[in-house]
Chain A
Amino acid sequence: MAQRLALHRLLSLPARGSLVSQGRAFGTSAGRRSTFNVQDGSDFQDRVVNSPKPVVVDFHAQWCGPCKILGPRLEKLVSKLEGKVLMAKVDIDDHTDLAIEYEVSAVPTVLAMKNGDVVDKFVGIKDEDQLEAFLKKLIGA
């Protein structure tokens, strides 16, 4: 319901063409600009590797149970940081080559990226405190 309202509001604004037409997933209305689904390799290059802001990359899969818990949890904390950190979501079945390139083996795998480099990483589910520390380190460092 919240997603549809957010989309409706977005549609009444001057067209943000790419966001609407490519059907990116929206979190809460606060998080809708901090989190995005990676579309392809060049999109990853543009919005993650070349991002001026640090990015957490959430490698996930629809068949992965823990991913469904970690994803929203991480998204919520990222959105609280109001744009200081962005979150990129990569479905490893859609973007297998990208996942392999970044040496993902188990999911969820979360990378912290700054200036195109992987500066931190964790695999598996983490609680809110652990995620907050992870994000704090990324912004602070």
Chain B
Amino acid sequence: ETCCCNYDLLVIGGGSGGLACAKEAAQFGRKVAVMDYVEPSPQGTSWGLGGTCVNVGCIPKKLMHQAALLGSALKDAQHYGWNISQPVHHTWSVMAQGVQNYVKSLNWGHRVQLQEKKVKYFNIKGSFSDPHTVCGLTKAGKETVVTADNIVIATGGRPKYPMDVAGALEYGITSDDLFWLKESPGKTLVVGASYVSLECAGFLTGIGLDTTVMMRSVPLRGFDQQMASLVTEHMESYGTKFLKRCFPTKVEKLKSNRLQVTWKNADLDTEETDSFDTVMWAVGRAPDTKTLNLETVGVKTNSETGKIIVDASEATSVPHIYAVGDITEGRPELTPTAIAAGKLLAQRLFGQSSELMDYDNVPTTVFAPLEYGCVGLSEEAAVQRYGSDNIEVYHAFYKPLEFTVAERDATQCYMKMVCLREREQRILGLHFIGPNAGEVIQGFALGIKCGATYPQMMKTVGIHPTCAEEVTKLHITKRSGLDATVTGC
């Protein structure tokens, strides 16, 4: 079925940003189409409509993180009086099926939503033939041509494979594959220091698998480094093994079907080796723009990252071609920002709005076994911008009430608030490690968006007994050098 009709808007990419933009545009009564296609991973994994977040990102990640947390809760339960025979065992396939079934229901839900909002859906891999024309082949091999007045590129990114490690592509998997495994990954090596690496290694450890993280340098680059260290410290006490300042050189398959990994230890200047059932690469993500044919139409990309360069209105170097989400240079790789940017773009194109996306003070959370939530500037970014003399950092080590009876170690439960020192003492950044960090930080993000100050925070009454209330009580400064441990009641 060839289609040669003109749309008001064609969105290439049916993920968080693309679908939000398309559905918003359709609300204005526009003729909208979405092209979505998933190139199978090198291991052959594929999935349905909805993009990375739904299929191989946020959603399955959080569900598996929850599975791991439940494991810890079962251990705590004994202290609270429950008779649960230890040790408790986890069956991967039961969890995986539950997660995969839920994701499939979301794929369907998105499909139905497009239908209800009268957005035309093409399951084809599109590439540009000219600035207003995109064509591609259907699964059946039929050529489809679509023309549109406006085009939004929202094709996102895919996990990178290390190019200098023999056997990496052949024997390793990535997050694209992990969530769709039918059988347990077994003894796993996760290579990378990203939140993808730590979150995955975290839940694998939590469900009882022998898990190792290999990092060549610092964990969670770009995040507050004090907090990043606390995250990895907790993971170590939780049972995840770390190979720090190491990088892999080759991966070979053994007769037993296990994988033999060889790596260099930069600190000891030695070469080491071990065998694993699974090796997962979490060394970054890159946009898949090769097949889009961007050069043909002149859409400029960053030569280093390959990402599409956009201005504050998400416009590319070509009129009427825009881009949102992970594929855009310099933007956070997060679902909520992609969705918001997509919606605002549609409103500007078809709804007479001029509101631009605000990328400041975007809160986020790393769902490691002990979660880290943050909003605003890291301490080092604040120091760099304002100078250490002009900022005040209030901090506290606290113990969640729930940890007490369960005799859980709270060594890494910590929070800090970075404020300007002068005048109204505006809060620049808030960082929280502890249970439900995402839920804790979400509310405070509103305050920071409104320009909340330290005195205002101190006037805010806490809810008791919670961990979040400790934020409203932060009073010990780093500058004072005093012991920052606070106690509950």
Contacts and interface: CB of A to CB of B under 8 A. Distances in A.
A62 B111 contact: no
B216 interface: no
A63 B112 contact: no
A3 interface: no
Interface in B80-114: 100-102, 104-105, 107-108, 111-112
B115 A93 contact: no
Interface string A94-113: 00100010001101000000
A62 B104 contact: yes
Contacts of B48: 93
B101 A92 contact: no
Interface in A78-100: 92-93, 96, 100
Contacts of A61: 104-105, 108
Contact of B101 (A63, A96, A105): A63
Interface residues of A, number: 11
Interface residues of B, number: 12
B104 A105 contact: no
Contacts of A62: 101, 104
A69 interface: no
Contacts of A100: 111-112, 115
A123 interface: no
Contacts of A105: 112, 115-116
Contact of B102 (A63, A92, A96): A63
A93 B101 contact: no
Interface of A is mostly: loop
B104 A96 contact: no
B107 A93 contact: yes
Nearest to B98: A63
Nearest to B101: A63
Contacts of B115: 100, 105
Nearest to A92: B108
A42 to B, nearest CB: 13
A63 B111 contact: no
A96 B105 contact: no
Interface string A49-66: 000000000000111100
A111 B115 CA distance: 19
A102 B380 CA distance: 57
B138 to A, nearest CB: 11
A63 B96 CA distance: 12
Interface string B201-236: 000000000000000000000000000000000000
A63 B105 CA distance: 6
A105 B100 CA distance: 19
Contacts of B112: 100, 104-105
Contacts of B108: 61, 92-93, 96, 107
B18 to A, nearest CB: 18
Contacts of B104: 61-63, 93
Contacts of B101: 62-63
A51 to B, nearest CB: 26
Contact of A64 (B100, B105, B107, B116): B105
Given A62-B101, A100-B111, A104-B112, 14 more contacts: A61-B104, A61-B105, A61-B108, A63-B100, A63-B101, A63-B104, A64-B105, A93-B107, A93-B108, A96-B108, A96-B111, A100-B115, A105-B112, A107-B108
Interface of B: 48, 100-102, 104-105, 107-108, 111-112, 115-116
18 contacts: A61-B105, A61-B108, A62-B104, A63-B101, A63-B102, A63-B105, A64-B105, A92-B108, A93-B48, A93-B104, A93-B107, A96-B111, A100-B112, A104-B112, A105-B112, A105-B115, A105-B116, A107-B108
